[in-house]
Structure 1
């Protein structure tokens, strides 16, 4: 339960209790999983900024956040789970027809759960082959949904493949055929877009059927990012496609997936070698023989 105290009465023990509650927070689906260590750190830093400002303004003598220990974060390369192409294929094959385009938007356009759930048909440009991300769904405590702007810097247009656009087009024609361009692409209860619990239920059914019980839906977004990097896309391109607020966020998450200088040198050497060996039977030109 929240405790209302004036800022000069808040002690370090209050901050530590708050951090502990965040680690066992009920996210609304009946399971106490808590927030991720990175999310807790972000919230803590916001609170700390308030106390430090209060110290500078001499409203309080000391900062109660000093010395508070935060949950340890795992190294990105250790924590990141990248689904294989076989796993993605199994998930798409096991998904119900109404859920398959949702998974495809996560795996081949990098959309977050809330972003995919909040898509309107008008957000899909079927002619130009693009998906506009301009809102997200958040679950309300009463079980309803709230439509809000996406995370800071996440508004974007994702240039989608012809195959993905075709999949969504066929889905809309079959399951959302009314002429209203502002209708939701995916529908939950009461004509609203689906919220996290609904999508989570669909996801759990699909991953169990596909034999991928440990994958998270968010891992499909990582699959998309890794595919862009493997195709040679630079940091800024990946940042914009994923809707990260800065290239630093992209690098902090995926830097280990980009080839190192040694990798690029080795690849360049291999290409030179193959080019030379491939010409071993060709005669020298007059200039080369001179």
Structure 2
């Protein structure tokens, strides 16, 4: 992708292409602006202008999808979610082609796309659901823009491969304690401390690997989550998954003691290796001074789960377990949502929906005690 070029007079020159949704031909465009961002804004406006005045019957699916992404997603969502958006775009093209209009996609055609992913391609139900949510949001914007009257994604039945037995999603209290003891007694490594942080706090893997000493506020017993490490692409810090992911997390006393000791040892031995810039003092690195990969942490957890004699999990299970632990502790849903960095409580409820046995037993006991209290009062 071309970037704006700074001119001698301080302004920026930018060349880009706009595809006509009618002819399908690419048109060269040029603009000169005071800033690089203004150049990008001009490109988005040009794409929008190319679509203006086109009747709903002639508006094509993919050009509108691209405009929606450029306007509402780029620079706002993280690289992982943008990857899911691009995968959804490819799936729509593979099934519908590039020449289908927005208005020609009704609920039946949309459901056939869902069925194709879930049955023909054997995608996991979660994968189908992710693509559905992205497509539905795009169609909602098409309605707001006046190109559609109804959303074909409404009431779609999500199908796909059941992965319930393929991957354990959370941990019971007993499993959590067993695994914690195994990890605590294991050899010193980046994986050990990354696992402990994720166990206690439910942070995402990329958020945890990007942590530096400056992110910890031991005076106020908190941890600031304000970035993520992009281990897949740039090998540098990037934005968090969403703007809502930026948050301040409370540090449990046990974890704080462990981390204080770990950081003190690092300071003493001067083993914190600086990468790229002096501000990137990553705390948890491999032998080459680089943050470890998600594959490495999951391989580590597989070994520790085996030692703990529990079913194998991936690091993402810690986020589900964190929600369960906060619920069992009596934390309200808003606090739980903010600690996990979810956009709203409905996302947190999806994590809580597993309803493990510990939560079930707690609520059963509460209900029984309540019934006893009102029965005794009659």
Would the aligned equivalents of 2:118 and 2:125 in 1 still touch at CA under 8 Å? no
- Alignment correspondent of 1:164: 255
- Please report the TM-score for the alignment, with normalisation by the length of structure 2: 0.54
Provide, for residues 131-165 of structure 1, a one-character-per-residue CA deviation record: whole Å limited to 9, x for no partner. 11112233326xx6353222222221111122211
Separation in 1, partners of 2:120, 2:297? 23
Q: Give runs of aligned pairs for residues 247-262 of structure 1, distance below 5 A.
A: 247-254=345-352, 256=355, 257=359, 260=363
Change (3 A) 1:270 1:188: farther
Shift of 1:118: 1.4
Shift of 1:195: 2.5
User: Which structure has more RCO (C-alpha within 8 Å, separation ≥ 6)?
Assistant: 1
Larger mean CA deviation between 107-116 and 249-258 belongs to 249-258
Any unmatched runs of 5+ in structure 2? 1-86, 273-277
Would the aligned equivalents of 2:168 and 2:312 in 1 still touch at CA under 8 Å? no
Q: Give runs of aligned pairs for residues 64-79 of structure 1, distance below 5 A.
A: 70-71=159-160
Separation in 2, partners of 1:217, 1:81? 10
- Alignment correspondent of 2:238: 148
Separation in 2, partners of 1:146, 1:208? 33
Separation in 1, partners of 2:127, 2:247? 23
Separation in 1, partners of 2:237, 2:302? 24
2:302 maps to 1:204: yes
Separation in 1, partners of 2:374, 2:280? 54
Separation in 2, partners of 1:117, 1:215? 19
Change (3 A) 1:216 1:94: farther
For 1:163, what is the secondary structure of its paired residue?
helix
Would the aligned equivalents of 2:170 and 2:318 in 1 still touch at CA under 8 Å? no
- Please report the TM-score for the alignment, with normalisation by the length of structure 1: 0.68
Separation in 2, partners of 1:58, 1:85? 51
Shift of 1:7: 4.2
Separation in 2, partners of 1:126, 1:71? 45
- Alignment correspondent of 1:82: 171
2:316 maps to 1:225: no
Separation in 1, partners of 2:228, 2:157? 33
- Alignment correspondent of 2:334: 236
Give the aligned length.
Answer: 258
Provide, for residues 205-254 of structure 1, a one-character-per-residue CA deviation record: whole Å limited to 9, x for no partner. 33334333522222233332222211211111111111121111222321
- Alignment correspondent of 1:267: 369
Shift of 1:126: 1.8
Larger mean CA deviation between 42-51 and 110-119 belongs to 42-51
CA RMSD, 1 decimal: 4.4
Provide, for residues 104-136 of structure 1, a one-character-per-residue CA deviation record: whole Å limited to 9, x for no partner. 211111212222111111111122211111122
- Alignment correspondent of 1:285: none
Separation in 1, partners of 2:265, 2:194? 15
For 2:100, what is the secondary structure of its paired residue?
helix
Provide, for residues 184-217 of structure 1, a one-character-per-residue CA deviation record: whole Å limited to 9, x for no partner. 1111475332221232333333333433352222
- Alignment correspondent of 2:202: 110
Would the aligned equivalents of 2:206 and 2:230 in 1 still touch at CA under 8 Å? yes
Separation in 2, partners of 1:201, 1:267? 44
Shift of 1:39: 4.1
Separation in 1, partners of 2:146, 2:168? 40
Shift of 1:15: 4.8
- Alignment correspondent of 2:83: none
Would the aligned equivalents of 2:230 and 2:238 in 1 still touch at CA under 8 Å? yes
